[in-house]
Amino acid sequence: MATTLVPADPREVLRCDHCLLIQFRTMNGLCRRCHKSLDREEPPIVEAPPEPPELTDSPRPVLQIASAIRALRQRAGISQRQLAARMQVPRTYVSKIENEKATPTLSSLERLARALGATVPELLGSDNGRANREELLADPFIAELVLYLPRLNPLQWQSVLAQMRDMNVHTRRSA
């Protein structure tokens, strides 16, 4: 568990979170003084319930980029550290992008897309969703359901999705 102080090309300067010694990264990844790991332990990725889809355009496009990057990274099953290594950037940069503290440049978006096996438009969320929304809202059942979706908590949201999946699998025959 170390804090990166200065990203350097071949040599990374770290501060041990245990004894606070500032040092270059060692070959074995252990602190020179206390011999504890300098690497932060990545928490296991717990899949969160999906956020309810927004039916209006987001006022902040950064939110879409950040959430798209996080979703694609989690779907690929890789950590921020692994993504950063694929992009050849510090892990903190990936974290800042996902937490909306930094906006990626176009070249960073291209590297992100390559590292995640996606396209830049997928990261930007620039699909033709508006036409799909209008088609869905034309259905009376969906139009009525949309009125209640913003009021649901994540557990209720999961329950509704499960029931709809069940209805799709086990269609009832009318007499």
Q: Which segments of 2-137 are extended strands (E)? A: 2-6, 13-16, 22-24
> pLDDT exceeding 70 applies to what percent of the chain?
71
pLDDT band at 82 (very low <50, low <70, confident <90, very high): very high
| pTM score above 0.75 | no
pLDDT of residue 81: 92
pLDDT of residue 130: 53
Map out the domains of the chain with their CATH numbers: 1-41 (no CATH), 61-124 (1.10.260.40), 129-169 (no CATH)
CA angle 44, 95, 13 (to 5 degrees): 100
Distance CA(11)–CA(83), nearest Å, equals 19
pLDDT band at 128 (very low <50, low <70, confident <90, very high): very low
